[in-house]
Amino acid sequence: TIDQLESYLSQDSFYVDNPLAYWNDKRSSGTWPELTQMVLDYLTIPATSVDVERAFSYGWQTVSLYRHSLSSQSIQASIVFGNRCKEGLVNDDELVTLLRDKG
């Protein structure tokens, strides 16, 4: 039997204005399911690494020489919480009240 990639490559070349729409149509129709998922995974990778570099930069501040033994869950929670604070999504008064109640 011919595999999905070979089946796709055996077609004549053609131009597509919107590759995401083309492959989403293929996913909806059930044509080449594994190939379609792989293509969509690759096509949706961000074209820039700025977000990743920003996350590593912020992570470096979180995981310092003195905090290197934090669990991955603690590091993730700290980075997410810090990011939400920077974006103004955390109400300072509610946070202070919550921390006082926990203490």
- Burial track 23-38 (b if 16+ CB lie within 10 A, e otherwise): beebbeeeebeebbee
Question: What is the span of the domain harbouring residue 89?
Answer: 51-101
Structure token digits, residue 81: 């919480």
Do both 38 and 76 map to the same domain? no
Q: Could you read off the pLDDT of 30-43 as tens digits, one per residue? A: 989 999 999 999 99
Res. 82 pLDDT band, cuts 50 70 90? confident
Number of folded domains in the chain? Answer: 2
Q: State the average pLDDT over residues 61-66.
A: 68
Alpha helices in the chain (DSSP H): 4-9, 19-29, 33-43, 50-62, 72-86, 92-102
Residues 6 or more apart in contact with residue 70 via CB below 8 angstroms: 62, 63, 78
Shared domain for 28 and 64, answered yes or no, is: no
